[in-house]
């Protein structure tokens, strides 16, 4: 937004007026604009409505504004729009605030885990689906919302699926309460701190539900909501030329790099969007592009790289939405978030390596892992569609045409391939006891549910008769973390090392703290040595965090301003081969969960130099993820019997201790465990007797 203040020069005022005019025109030209009246009318007539429309047709940014103008925020009620991803919630909220000519956090705001921009004045609230699920813990009828829009429902994330089930229940409760309910004077139509069952009889206006999807298959949603009406919005799509490779590509990163420069040198103007699987790939490709671009003569047109992935700080995410500076071509490196969640203007060329990072779960062993797998046909089609938004485009698929037919039609819903402990814990906390009988849009396997129940009992969150335990289960449900991490915080408070555990959990919540560049591998290794602990990766992460805090402290003592301090931290990160973006994110997460821990009355103390105590605490928290070395040098995960290897990124890669606990399992050609700490195997039976017994 051009900067503008009351006393701005006439020139600035003119610029501002032009810019507002442009936004008005852009809004008017969106396919959804012509059906505004009809949509508002349909929402009025139907309690549940399904809206299907091509990506970029204006669903996410426009519909909430239509509903606001249509009077759905009377009596201070709020329109909530859920997104599967953080980035989408943030960027869309910013865009809509701009369109409303208002500051973010007033009429329009967003709320995501660890970051909330909303205020009492907020009427259009974008948030992640996970966050709305959490809100239901405090307010089971979601009483402040008049309308809830579940966006990107086709993605079928585990949170979306659970949310759909919950909203169906809430909608039913609100409709019933309205028929025969009474307003309880002490709750005044609100349902804070009650369970859904206890809310029976509380008067609350009916809830409008809107399910939005980019895929044409609306039937499953319609069936689930009792033949709910579906409305289709006609999209606008220009032709896209699809190109395949002649040979299979063995290294899709390298192929992406080559294709970017091929387009840059041979094709006409237009921005490039390349789909990669995660932060690590995006950052390493970003560096490779910069390295290669240096080889070109300075007068040739330049490449401007902007990354987009979920944990990227929001100011940096917004770069992708800006037009490329004059004389440059924008290259957006994005995860699958750019498939449908956000629409990036200017894209004419799409590069699709055909891969995606996905969660995978083995319900028998209870082990979840991250794997990189081929995308589905539906995703491939969405990706190429991104090239034809503003004019004819080209899509470079980095695989052979024959491979396309082998892809699955659509992705298996996440709820069928992830660990359900978190879901089960949340449903229990909402007072939904019968998890197997819960009305899921698609039921997860019984084995997976039983395995999660078993894990939660082992973690102490549930009692033996499957009730939420007091206080541990309640505390765990309220922490916005994976149950194992919540448990770690609670345990560490008892071990008197919460300070260290808070750091570990924050650092584990972000991807790739360390980075290295090809030509500086030795320097990077040397810098990392300075932080390394022979005990393992967890303590190494604590050392990095503390060193970064010292750097900030130094500049604070020198009375530096906030900006200068950040600059100093950025420099320190570069010198130490630490990923500044990730560290920044970890610091934010840290301050948020520290707040939660304090509210819960946990004991914020440090174990000082007593690393044995800290390792014992890690054992007590992560005992389900223990692995023992085998005679052949591989490891066996004790809970699952799986054979695993130590990932080369671990500080324990060479030392290969007898017994370790780990935090992450990644599957490539082998099973690798990441983020390890060396432990004494005898501690397992001592600290987790509910699971391990000492051999007689």
Shortest CB 474 distance to ligand ADP, Å? 37
Shortest CB 277 distance to ligand ADP, Å? 22
Q: For helices 59-69 and 86-99, give the axis angle rounded to 10 degrees.
A: 50
Shortest CB 287 distance to ligand ADP, Å? 26
Which of 35, 39, 48, 53 is close enough to bind ligand ADP by CB under 6 A? 53
Q: Hey, is 642 helix, strand or coil? A: coil
Shortest CB 61 distance to Mg ion, Å? 7
Judged by CB, which is closer to Mg ion: 390, or 680? 390
Mask 208-227, x = binds ligand ADP (CB under 6 A)? Answer: --------------------
Closest residue to Mg ion in the complex (CB): 60
Could you tell me the CA-to-CA distances from 463 to 175, 425, 488 in Å, in that order?
A: 34, 12, 18
**Concatenated DSSP letters of 289-311:** HHHHHTTS-TTSPEEEEEEE-TT
Between CA 202 and CA 206 the distance in angstroms is: 12
Shortest CB 59 distance to Mg ion, Å? 5
Judged by CB, which is closer to Mg ion: 56, or 366? 56
Which of the ranges 51-59, 202-210, 424-432, 616-624 carries the binding residues for ligand ADP, by CB under 6 A? 51-59
Judged by CB, which is closer to ligand ADP: 338, or 453? 338
Shortest CB 31 distance to Mg ion, Å? 12
Judged by CB, which is closer to ligand ADP: 90, or 418? 90
User: What sign does the dihedral 469-475-480-483 (CA atoms) show?
Assistant: negative
Sheet holding 302-308, edge to edge: 240-243, 393-397, 347-352, 271-275, 328-334, 302-308
Judged by CB, which is closer to ligand ADP: 261, or 321? 321
Which of the ranges 53-61, 264-272, 329-337, 647-655 carries the binding residues for ligand ADP, by CB under 6 A? 53-61
Could you tell me the CA-to-CA distances from 416 to 217, 358, 409, 427, 440 in Å, in that order?
A: 19, 12, 16, 17, 11
Shortest CB 211 distance to Mg ion, Å? 13
Between CA 639 and CA 625 the distance in angstroms is: 7
Burial class (CB in 10 A: 0-12, 13-18, 19+), 403: middle
- How many Cβ atoms sit within 10 Å of the Cβ of residue 144? 15
- Say which entry of Mg ion, ligand ADP, none residue 244 contacts (CB below 5 to 8 A, set by partner kind): none
Judged by CB, which is closer to Mg ion: 64, or 473? 64
Judged by CB, which is closer to Mg ion: 59, or 487? 59
Mask 335-354, x = binds ligand ADP (CB under 6 A)? Answer: --------x-x---------
Residues 80, 149: contact at Cβ < 8 Å? yes
Between CA 322 and CA 334 the distance in angstroms is: 15
Q: Hey, is 379 helix, strand or coil? A: helix
Shortest CB 407 distance to ligand ADP, Å? 23
Shortest CB 102 distance to ligand ADP, Å? 15
Shortest CB 148 distance to Mg ion, Å? 15
Token code pair at residue 16? 């501002």
Q: Pseudo-torsion of CA 286, 536, 497, 113, nearest 10°?
A: 30
DSSP H or E stretch at residue 189? none
- Say which entry of Mg ion, ligand ADP, none residue 56 contacts (CB below 5 to 8 A, set by partner kind): ligand ADP
Beta strands in 70-227 (DSSP E): 78-83, 108-112, 115-116, 124-128, 145-150, 208-213
Residues 303, 293: contact at Cβ < 8 Å? yes
Shortest CB 129 distance to ligand ADP, Å? 15
Shortest CB 336 distance to ligand ADP, Å? 14
Q: Please report, in angstroms and rounded to a whole number, the separation of the first and last CA atoms in the chain.
A: 71
Shortest CB 281 distance to ligand ADP, Å? 24
- Say which entry of ligand ADP, Mg ion, none residue 345 contacts (CB below 5 to 8 A, set by partner kind): ligand ADP
Judged by CB, which is closer to ligand ADP: 62, or 191? 62
Judged by CB, which is closer to ligand ADP: 95, or 678? 95
- How many Cβ atoms sit within 10 Å of the Cβ of residue 246? 6
Which of 95, 134, 159, 528 is close enough to bind ligand ADP by CB under 6 A? 95
Which of the ranges 49-57, 164-172, 550-558, 678-686 carries the binding residues for ligand ADP, by CB under 6 A? 49-57
Residues 656, 666: contact at Cβ < 8 Å? no
Judged by CB, which is closer to Mg ion: 59, or 86? 59
Judged by CB, which is closer to ligand ADP: 55, or 143? 55
Mask 55-94, x = binds ligand ADP (CB under 6 A)? Answer: xxxxxxxx----------------------------x---
Pick out residues in 156-185 that bind ligand ADP (CB under 6 A).
none
Shortest CB 343 distance to Mg ion, Å? 7
Q: With b meaning 16 or more CB within 10 Å and e meaning fewer, what string describes 25-53?
A: eeeeebbbeebbeebbeebeebbbbbbbb
Q: Give the binding-site size for ligand ADP (rule: CB under 6 A).
A: 15
Residues that bind Mg ion (CB under 5 A): 59-60
- Say which entry of ligand ADP, Mg ion, none residue 548 contacts (CB below 5 to 8 A, set by partner kind): none
Judged by CB, which is closer to ligand ADP: 61, or 677? 61
Beta-strand relationship, 115-116 and 108-112? antiparallel
Judged by CB, which is closer to ligand ADP: 62, or 171? 62
Between CA 48 and CA 224 the distance in angstroms is: 11
Shortest CB 95 distance to Mg ion, Å? 11
- Say which entry of Mg ion, ligand ADP, none residue 16 contacts (CB below 5 to 8 A, set by partner kind): none
Judged by CB, which is closer to Mg ion: 334, or 481? 334
Q: What is the CA radius of gyration of the chain?
A: 26
Between CA 279 and CA 317 the distance in angstroms is: 13
Which of the ranges 54-62, 246-254, 377-385, 628-636 carries the binding residues for ligand ADP, by CB under 6 A? 54-62
- Say which entry of Mg ion, ligand ADP, none residue 65 contacts (CB below 5 to 8 A, set by partner kind): none
Which of the ranges 52-60, 164-172, 394-402, 452-460 carries the binding residues for ligand ADP, by CB under 6 A? 52-60
Beta-strand relationship, 643-646 and 635-637? antiparallel
Between CA 275 and CA 48 the distance in angstroms is: 34
3-class secondary structure per residue, 572-598: HHHHCCECHHHHHHHHHHHHHHHHHHH
Shortest CB 334 distance to Mg ion, Å? 15
Which of 8, 16, 20, 30 is close enough to bind ligand ADP by CB under 6 A? 30
Q: Hey, is 544 helix, strand or coil? A: helix
Q: Does 321 bind ligand ADP (CB under 6 A)?
A: yes
- Say which entry of ligand ADP, Mg ion, none residue 30 contacts (CB below 5 to 8 A, set by partner kind): ligand ADP
Q: Does 540 bind ligand ADP (CB under 6 A)?
A: no
Residues 320, 289: contact at Cβ < 8 Å? no
* Binding region for ligand ADP (CB under 6 A): 30, 53, 55-62, 91, 95, 321, 343, 345
């Amino acid at each position: 937004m051009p900067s503008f203040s009351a006393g701005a020069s006439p020139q600035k005022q003119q610029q501002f007026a032009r810019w507002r005019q442009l936004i008005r025109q852009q809004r008017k030209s969106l396919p959804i604009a012509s059906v505004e009246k009809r949509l508002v009318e349909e929402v009025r007539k139907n309690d549940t409505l399904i809206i299907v429309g091509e990506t970029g047709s204006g669903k996410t940014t426009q519909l909430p504004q239509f509903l606001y103008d249509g009077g759905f925020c009377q009596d201070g009620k709020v329109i909530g729009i859920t997104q599967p991803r953080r980035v989408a919630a943030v960027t869309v909220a910013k865009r809509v605030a701009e369109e409303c000519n208002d500051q973010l956090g007033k009429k329009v705001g967003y709320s995501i885990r660890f970051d909330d921009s909303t205020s009492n004045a907020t009427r259009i609230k974008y948030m992640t689906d996970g966050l709305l699920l959490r809100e239901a813990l405090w307010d089971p009828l979601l009483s402040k919302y008049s309308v809830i829009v579940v966006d990107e429902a086709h993605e079928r994330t585990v949170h979306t699926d659970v949310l759909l089930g919950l909203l169906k229940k809430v909608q039913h409760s609100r409709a019933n309460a309205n028929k025969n309910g009474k307003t309880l004077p002490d709750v005044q139509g609100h349902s804070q701190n009650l369970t859904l069952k206890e809310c029976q009889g509380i008067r609350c206006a009916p809830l409008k539900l809107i399910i939005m999807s980019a895929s044409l298959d609306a039937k499953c949603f319609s069936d689930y909501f009792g033949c709910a009406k579906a409305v289709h919005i006609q999209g606008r799509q220009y032709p896209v030329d699809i190109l395949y490779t002649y040979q299979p590509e063995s290294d899709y990163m390298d192929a992406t790099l080559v294709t970017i420069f091929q387009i840059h040198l041979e094709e006409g103007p237009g921005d490039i969007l390349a789909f990669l699987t995660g932060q690590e790939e995006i950052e390493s490709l970003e560096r490779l592009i910069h390295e290669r671009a240096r080889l070109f003569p300075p007068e040739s047109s330049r490449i401007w790289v902007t990354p987009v992935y979920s944990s990227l700080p929001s100011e940096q995410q917004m770069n992708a939405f800006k037009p490329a500076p004059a004389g440059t071509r924008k290259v957006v490196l994005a995860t699958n978030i750019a498939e449908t969640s956000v629409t990036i203007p200017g894209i004419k060329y799409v590069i699709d390596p055909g891969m995606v990072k996905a969660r995978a779960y083995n319900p028998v062993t209870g082990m979840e892992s991250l794997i990189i797998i081929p995308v589905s046909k539906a995703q491939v089609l969405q990706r190429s569609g991104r090239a034809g938004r503003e004019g004819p485009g080209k899509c470079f698929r980095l695989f052979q045409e024959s491979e396309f037919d082998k892809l699955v039609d659509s992705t298996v819903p996440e709820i069928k391939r992830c660990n359900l402990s978190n879901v089960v814990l949340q449903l229990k906390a909402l007072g939904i006891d019968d998890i197997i009988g819960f009305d899921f849009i698609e039921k997860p396997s019984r084995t997976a549910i039983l395995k999660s129940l078993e894990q939660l009992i082992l973690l102490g969150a549930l009692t033996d008769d499957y009730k939420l335990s007091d206080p541990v289960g309640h505390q765990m449900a309220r922490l916005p973390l994976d149950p194992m991490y919540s448990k770690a915080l609670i345990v560490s408070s008892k071990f008197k090392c919460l300070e260290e555990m808070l750091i570990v959990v924050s650092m584990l919540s972000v991807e790739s703290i360390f980075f290295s560049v090809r030509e500086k591998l030795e320097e990077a290794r040397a810098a990392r040595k300075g932080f390394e602990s022979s005990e393992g990766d967890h303590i190494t992460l604590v050392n990095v965090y503390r060193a970064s805090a010292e750097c900030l402290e130094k500049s604070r003592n020198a009375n530096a301003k906030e900006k200068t301090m950040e600059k100093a931290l950025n420099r320190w990160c570069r010198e130490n081969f630490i990923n500044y973006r990730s560290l920044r994110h970890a610091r934010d997460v840290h301050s948020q969960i520290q707040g939660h821990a304090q509210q819960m009355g946990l004991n914020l103390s440090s174990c000082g130099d007593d690393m044995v105590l800290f390792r014992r605490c890690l054992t007590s928290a992560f005992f389900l993820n223990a692995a023992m070395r085998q005679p052949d040098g591989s490891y066996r995960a004790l809970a699952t019997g799986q054979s695993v290897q130590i990932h080369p990124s671990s500080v324990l890669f060479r030392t290969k201790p007898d017994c370790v606990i780990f935090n992450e399992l990644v599957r490539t050609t082998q099973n690798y465990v990441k983020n390890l700490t060396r432990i004494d195997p005898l501690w397992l039976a001592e600290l987790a007797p509910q699971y391990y017994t000492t051999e007689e």
